[in-house]
């Protein structure tokens, strides 16, 4: 679960409303990753902004980004291993690298894009699920 401060929730809802609840219109205009956080600048595909200052800036802690990469199995693959002592083969997830190191060093540009889009999808899904939970439908 991604920690979303209330101010960011409000801004995300405003973006969702401005795209008429068509989540596919929300896109990542730019991104930046440092040792502390992944920063995404979001905008409407039908209303491109002239500068990043006009986009919605979302900061995700690097630890949360790493957890998401691991949860989505982006930094690993299904493979077989040989047990070191009992000499039998078994299926296992084989980790390529630590999540953030994988993103920075091993992932292709497409895989990096998938990771960022996974963050956006998780963020929007979590927003909708947590904010609509408990509402009664008449």
In a domain, 136, yes or no: no
* Better-scored residue on pLDDT, 37 or 130: 37
Query: Quick check: 2 pLDDT over 90?
Result: no
d(CA 111, CA 106): 9
What are the beta bridge partners of residue 32?
39
Q: Is residue 127 situated within a structural domain?
A: yes
Residue 81 pLDDT greater than 90, yes or no: no
pLDDT in tens, 42-76: 998 888 887 888 889 999 999 999 999 999 999 99
Tally of domains in the chain: 1
- Nearest alpha-carbon partner for 26 in 110, 119, 109, 100: 119
Instruction: Give the DSSP letter string of the chain.
Output: -----HHHHHHHHHHHHHTTT-GGGEEEEEEEE-SSEEEEEEEETTB--SSGGGSEEEEEEHHHHHHHHHHTTTTEEEEEEE-TTT--EEEEEEE-S-HHHIIIII--HHHHHHHHHHHHHHHHHHHHHHHHTTPPP-
Do 62 and 37 meet the contact criterion of CB atoms below 8 Å apart? yes
Is residue 67 a part of any domain in this protein? yes
Residues 90-138 have pLDDT tens digits of: 898 989 999 999 999 999 999 999 999 999 999 998 888 876 554 444 4
Looking at the domain assignment, is residue 19 inside a domain?
yes
Does the pLDDT of residue 14 top 70, yes or no? yes
Q: Has residue 87 been placed in a domain?
A: yes
Question: Residue 138 falls within a domain, yes or no?
Answer: no
pLDDT in the model for residue 86: 86
Of 27, 86, 85, 83, which is closest to residue 58 (Cα–Cα)? 27
Q: Which domain holds residue 41?
A: 6-131
Q: Which residues pair with 98 in a beta bridge?
A: none
Q: Is the pTM of this model over 0.75?
A: yes
Instruction: Specify if 74 maps to a domain.
Output: yes
Q: Look at residue 53 and tell me if it is in a domain.
A: yes
């Amino acid at each position: 679960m991604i920690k979303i401060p209330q101010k960011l929730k409000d801004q995300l809802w405003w973006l969702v409303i401005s795209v008429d609840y068509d989540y596919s219109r929300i896109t990542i205009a730019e991104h930046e990753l440092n040792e502390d956080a992944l920063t995404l600048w979001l905008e409407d595909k039908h209303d491109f902004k002239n500068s990043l200052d006009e986009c919605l800036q979302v900061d995700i802690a690097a630890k949360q980004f790493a957890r998401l990469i691991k949860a989505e199995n982006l930094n690993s693959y299904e493979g077989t291993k040989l047990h070191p002592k009992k000499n039998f083969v078994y299926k296992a997830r084989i980790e390529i690298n630590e999540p953030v190191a994988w993103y920075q060093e091993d992932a292709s540009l497409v895989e990096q894009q998938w990771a960022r889009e996974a963050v956006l999808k998780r963020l929007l899904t979590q927003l909708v699920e947590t904010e609509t939970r408990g509402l009664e439908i008449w």
